[in-house]
Amino acid sequence: MRSTPARYAPRVRESDLLRHIQTRSTLGEGVLVGPGDDCAVVVGTSHQLLKVDQLVEHRHYRAGTPIDLIARKALARPLSDIAAMAGRPRYALAAATLPAGYPHARELFDAVHGWGERFGCPVVGGDIATHDGPLILSISIIGVAHAARGPVLRRGAKSGDDLFVTGSLGGSFDAATGLGRHLTFTPRLDEAAHLADVLGHDLHAMMDLSDGLGIDAGRLAESSGVRVIIERRRIPLSPGITDPSQALQDGEDYELLFTAPPGALPDSGVLPTGCPFARIGRIEIGAGATDETGQDIAAIGWDHR
């Protein structure tokens, strides 16, 4: 076994690093929610939502991916977090670190601006740098919370709640081509706004599914101080997916996971946007996330190392 050189620190799991950042962060005046949820929440004349996300070549997409799809995903990822709080985007900032000699800079920035307009958050500023490494796109979104409901947090799930998900899960990434739904999804902004309109404060908790249903359910459970139980047979599977285990672990679905009191919604249905939703489990007193047999699922999914 090769030993780790003393000058290098051991690699840290993403969940552990995020937990460290959350516990060590000091919130300034006017900051209602800091690290640990989908977005930061800043109180001004309204609740403002702040989010930044990175898209890194070779990590989040393969070399050779069409420029338009790279730009789309770069905007859609942080917008999915705005949706997770039932917010609306207002503006975007784009910072790019380009590989030295990168020949597609104009095309890339045209595509980023174009998707900003289409998603309703015009790009109003940013920064450019170059380095001897992969393309890195960093997008910051400034949004506002739902006017009546306010921001929907991860920490609001209550014992007795039903657990729901929008859309279908699994198979977002085509291993053969590198393409797939992870590059073409539409953030569930309209769906989240409708749920907040209809449920109001009965929309207890919500988050987006980026790293897999299992690991993200565990994060919701930890934030809310409850136990999440998911019934595998109820998970809506994407076309071509037959094993619920794949839906638990694949990640990059960018659907909404949310809780509401029993009877607030039917077990399944279709939102006015045409997006289906389904009840997939429940919330109980306790901790962690399991399936209906008691198997721990909180570590199933993608955890950056």
Q: What is the 3-state secondary structure (H, E, C) of 201-254?
A: HHCCEEEECCCCHHHHHHHHHHHHCCEEEECHHHCCECCCCCCHHHHHHCCCCC
In a shared domain, residues 165 and 220: yes
Using left for φ > 0, alpha for ψ between -120 and 50, and beta otherwise, residue 47 falls in: beta
Yes or no: say if 204 and 155 are a contact pair by the CB < 8 Å rule: no
Q: What pLDDT sits at residue 199?
A: 98
Q: How far is CA 225 from CA 12, 31, 37, 166, in A?
A: 24, 22, 14, 23
250 and 166 in one domain? yes
* CB-CB contact of 109 with 158 (8 Å): no
Indicate the residue type of 129: A
Reference 155, options 29, 44, 25, 22; nearest CA is: 22
- pLDDT of 32 reads 72
Q: Which domain holds residue 238?
A: 154-291
Are 75 and 192 contained in the same domain? Answer: no
In a domain, 84, yes or no: yes
Beta-sheet strands, E only, within 71-150? 88-99, 123-131, 136-144
* Same domain flag for 265 and 242: yes
Q: What is the pLDDT of residues 195-209, one digit of tens each?
A: 999 999 999 999 999
Question: Does residue 274 register a pLDDT over 90?
Answer: yes
For residues 212 and 254, membership in a common domain is answered with: yes
Please check whether residues 105 and 181 belong to one and the same domain. no
Closest by CA to 197, choosing from 148, 164, 155, is 148
* pTM over the 0.75 mark: yes
Residue partners of 89: CB distance under 8 A and separation at least 6: 79, 82, 119, 120, 121, 141, 142, 143, 189
Would 41 be classed as within a structural domain? Answer: yes
Q: Please tell me the least confidently modeled range out of 21-25, 50-54, 63-67, 265-269.
A: 21-25
> Are the CB atoms for 245 and 144 separated by under 8 Å?
no
Q: How far apart are the first and last CA of the chain?
A: 19
Question: Same domain for 195 and 242?
Answer: yes
Element holding 276 (H helix, E strand) = strand 276-284
> Is residue 169 over pLDDT 70?
yes
Q: What is the pLDDT of residues 282-298, one digit of tens each?
A: 999 999 999 999 999 99
Q: Looking at residue 184, which CATH number applies to its domain?
A: 3.90.650.10
Report if residue 20 sits inside a domain: no
Q: 127 pLDDT band (50/70/90 cuts)? A: confident
